Amino acid sequence: MKKRIKRIRGTRTCGGGSTKKRRGKGSKGGSGNAGAYAHHVVRSLKRGIRKGNNKSQLPTYNRSDDKTVNVGDLEEILEELIERGKAEEKGDGIYLDVNELGIQKILGKGEVTKKLMLKANKISKTAQEKIERVGGSVEVESGV
């Protein structure tokens, strides 16, 4: 059996039914940017078309580009950081300034088994709770 497109070639309407059915702009959902907020919203977002005063810009969302690291990942690389001199062992704990590593925020995913004394710009509540539960401490720098 032939493919559909091969069968359609050479016919007058190419599978569109009556010649009247594909005639106007209504058959494609309107002309120009019609339906940018309605039935063509996905198409308009993909193309970057927005109606209103600022046509070329997509909406901006509250997105943070902070470099983050999870507490579990931080604990996995502690040995390597101590060897490179980025972290130091003081007494029974490990002191680490994550700002020197270029990390702006510490997140709480993972487990903490070692006593950590951290200095950071931002830290999530769960990360701080996990560190303090083991006996560590967190110093949050404000105004940075």
Contacts with 107 (C-beta within 8 Å, 6 or more apart), sequence order: 68, 69, 70, 71, 124, 126, 127
72 and 38 fall within a common domain: no
Q: What are the C-alpha distances in Å from 13 to residues 4, 21, 143? A: 14, 10, 70
What domain range includes position 30? 4-47
pLDDT, tens digit, for every residue of 46-95?
A: 877 665 555 555 555 666 667 889 998 888 888 888 888 888 888 888 89
CATH number of the domain that residue 15 is part of: 4.10.990
Quick check: helix, strand or coil at residue 37? Answer: coil
Q: What is the pLDDT of residue 125?
A: 93
Q: Is the pLDDT of residue 2 over 90?
A: no
Q: What backbone torsions phi and psi does residue 127 show, to the nearest 5 degrees? A: -65, -45
pLDDT range class, residue 133, cuts 50, 70, 90 = very high
Q: Which two tokens stand for residue 96?
A: 């680490």
CB 115 within 8 A of CB 94: yes
Q: Which two tokens stand for residue 133?
A: 């539960």
Total domains present in the chain: 2
92 and 127 fall within a common domain: yes
Helix or strand (DSSP H, E) at 71: helix 71-76
Q: What is the pLDDT of residue 86?
A: 85
Q: Is the pLDDT of residue 15 over 70?
A: yes
In a domain, residue 62? The reply is no
In a domain, residue 57? The reply is no
Distance CA 117, CA 60 (A): 37
Q: Is the pLDDT of residue 3 over 70?
A: yes
In a domain, residue 53? The reply is no
pLDDT, tens digit, for every residue of 89-119?
A: 888 888 988 888 888 899 989 898 888 898 8
